Amino acid sequence: MFKRVLAKIGKDEQFKDLISGSSVVVLFRVAGMGAGYIFTLLIAREMGAEVTGIYQTVFTVVSLAVTFARLGLGQASVRFIAEARGEKNLAKGQRVYSLASRTVSFTSFLFGGIIFFLSPWLAMKFENPEIENALRAGAVSIPFMTFTSLNADVMRGMRKMTAFAILQNGTLKFLESAVLALVIYLGYTDATTAIWVMVASFGVWALLSFVFRFRYFPMQNRAESDFPLKSLLQVGFPLLLSGAMFMIMSWADVLILSYFRPESEVGVYSIAYKVSILITIPLFAINSMAGPKFSQFKGAGDMKNLLKVAKQSAKLNFITSFPIFVGVMALAGFLMNLFGDEFAGGTSLLYVLALGQLYNASCGSVLNLLNMTGHERKVQRIIVISTLVNLILNILVAGEYGAMGVSITTAISLLLWNTLGMITVKRVYGFWMFPNPFKPVG
């Protein structure tokens, strides 16, 4: 049976390409997450739960600022560059990047300045004066993070998956962990120092992203295209709103919990959440490869292959994520204890979060499929609804039920937006994205 499956995969060029491209991203993703957990271990064990909570709070604020600074143009660039590849129109892709890069140059410095000057007010709202200096340091990283992300999206659109995988935050953690270990050895164990390590690491990664961009995506033909900025923004703004709402939904738990509860509890919750997303390693990798394919097939009018790849990605997501879920559930206590005794109480949080992540992974690339095929406004509505529900529930439960209440809310939110996404895919394309594990993969 196994030989028959392999033979079928070997004859299916699209499925073989999906697996090979995803495998590269998985390799770097796993290595990067390993480095990320080393980084988290260093902060948790050497700096404590409070510094871990401050770091996560600042990283959350900075990540939200980067999402707004990008204006949705990164994901829009993936779509248009992938379409340009299908049309063999390199000048169009180069024109898209030129417009996107000039726009985010302005917005990234704008949002960096806003966070820098609002840091005293934000520190007052979080009732923790130590956050002020950490936020100011974090603001410096916003242009670096924005351009690293944009250039990574260009690599994804060009299907340079190795370069794309290297530029992800997880891979960056190798450098960040090494520098953090050095500063801890030198005796610096405060939150602001940890943030400056992040800033320096993203500065190096931004330079590396431009090395890849110059190598794989030269700009000599951009003048041959008259692709308008308006068209880019028309796609980018719905993606911005979806991305911003998704980020708010993803990080509202940390911010709201930080407002109601001590930083030590935020730190424990953050570790449990980080461990739970091990389950979504295959989802990230498969989405990275499948997204440009969806856009390319839609641009070429090849609906047969588009729907085929969508179904294959859903099945592949499930069969690769389920074993990780089983491992996380079986080893939950051990995994949390790795970060120190004060994190052991987060085991029950991990159980809840892992269930939500399994459903997330099992639903596959639902929103990715819709975003990459011109249905970004439908995605926008799904994310807005889910974010509002998430915010309301978090505010209601965080004060009284703390990290456990927020964990349950996070799991509910994952269930809600994935279910709405599956219903929308069914209405648009006529099939359910949730895979049948008993049907053949290919």
Cβ within 8 Å of residue 347, ≥6 positions away: 272, 332, 333, 336
The span from the CA of 122 to the CA of 116, in Å, is 10
Look at the chain and report how many structural domains it folds into: 1
Average pLDDT over the chain, rounded to an integer: 79
The pTM score is 0.65
The span from the CA of 242 to the CA of 247, in Å, is 8
* pLDDT over 70 percentage in the chain: 85
pLDDT digits (tens, 9 = 90+) for 56-65: 888 888 888 8
Residue 320 lies in a domain: yes
Structure confidence at residue 3 as a pLDDT band (50, 70, 90): very low
Structure confidence at residue 352 as a pLDDT band (50, 70, 90): very high
What average pLDDT does the segment 390-415 reach?
Answer: 89
Is the four-CA dihedral 247, 252, 254, 259 of positive or negative sign? positive
Residue 404 lies in a domain: yes
Residue 441 lies in a domain: no
Question: What's the confidence (pLDDT) of residue 353?
Answer: 92
Structure confidence at residue 109 as a pLDDT band (50, 70, 90): very high
Question: What's the confidence (pLDDT) of residue 23?
Answer: 61
What is the domain extent for residue 83? 2-429
DSSP 277: G
Structure confidence at residue 2 as a pLDDT band (50, 70, 90): very low
More confident residue, 5 or 43: 43
Specify burial of residue 121 (Cβ count, 10 A radius: 0-12, 13-18, 19+). Answer: exposed
Question: What's the confidence (pLDDT) of residue 238?
Answer: 73
**91 contacts 125 by C-beta, under 8 angstroms:** no
Question: What's the confidence (pLDDT) of residue 110?
Answer: 94
Structure confidence at residue 1 as a pLDDT band (50, 70, 90): very low
Question: What's the confidence (pLDDT) of residue 321?
Answer: 85
More confident residue, 31 or 277: 277
Question: What's the confidence (pLDDT) of residue 354?
Answer: 92
pLDDT digits (tens, 9 = 90+) for 167-195: 876 677 778 888 888 988 888 878 888 88
Question: What's the confidence (pLDDT) of residue 114?
Answer: 92
Structure confidence at residue 426 as a pLDDT band (50, 70, 90): confident
Question: What's the confidence (pLDDT) of residue 320?
Answer: 83
pLDDT digits (tens, 9 = 90+) for 305-351: 778 777 777 788 788 889 999 998 998 888 888 877 778 788 889 99
What average pLDDT does the segment 223-247 reach?
Answer: 71
Could you give the 3-state DSSP secondary structure of residue 5?
helix
Question: What's the confidence (pLDDT) of residue 8?
Answer: 47
Residue 440 lies in a domain: no
Residue 438 lies in a domain: no
Specify burial of residue 148 (Cβ count, 10 A radius: 0-12, 13-18, 19+). Answer: buried
Could you give the 3-state DSSP secondary structure of residue 268?
helix
**149 contacts 157 by C-beta, under 8 angstroms:** no
Q: What is the CA radius of gyration of the chain?
A: 21
What average pLDDT does the segment 406-413 reach?
Answer: 90
Residue 145 lies in a domain: yes
- Locate all alpha helices (DSSP H) within 43-160, ordered by sequence: 48-70, 73-87, 90-125, 130-140, 142-157
Specify burial of residue 202 (Cβ count, 10 A radius: 0-12, 13-18, 19+). Answer: buried
Structure confidence at residue 113 as a pLDDT band (50, 70, 90): very high
The span from the CA of 387 to the CA of 382, in Å, is 9
Retrieve residue 353's tokens: 């979060």
- Locate all alpha helices (DSSP H) within 279-436, ordered by sequence: 281-300, 303-330, 332-337, 347-362, 366-372, 376-429
Residue 439 lies in a domain: no
What average pLDDT does the segment 391-399 reach?
Answer: 88
Which residue, among 382, 369, 438, 439, has the nearest Cα to 415 in the 3D structure?
382
The yes-or-no verdict on residue 120 having pLDDT over 80 is yes
The yes-or-no verdict on residue 80 having pLDDT over 50 is yes
The span from the CA of 247 to the CA of 258, in Å, is 16
More confident residue, 77 or 17: 77
Residue 435 lies in a domain: no
What average pLDDT does the segment 153-162 reach?
Answer: 79
What average pLDDT does the segment 279-294 reach?
Answer: 74
Question: What's the confidence (pLDDT) of residue 360?
Answer: 86
More confident residue, 171 or 217: 217
Question: What's the confidence (pLDDT) of residue 11?
Answer: 52
What average pLDDT does the segment 67-77 reach?
Answer: 82
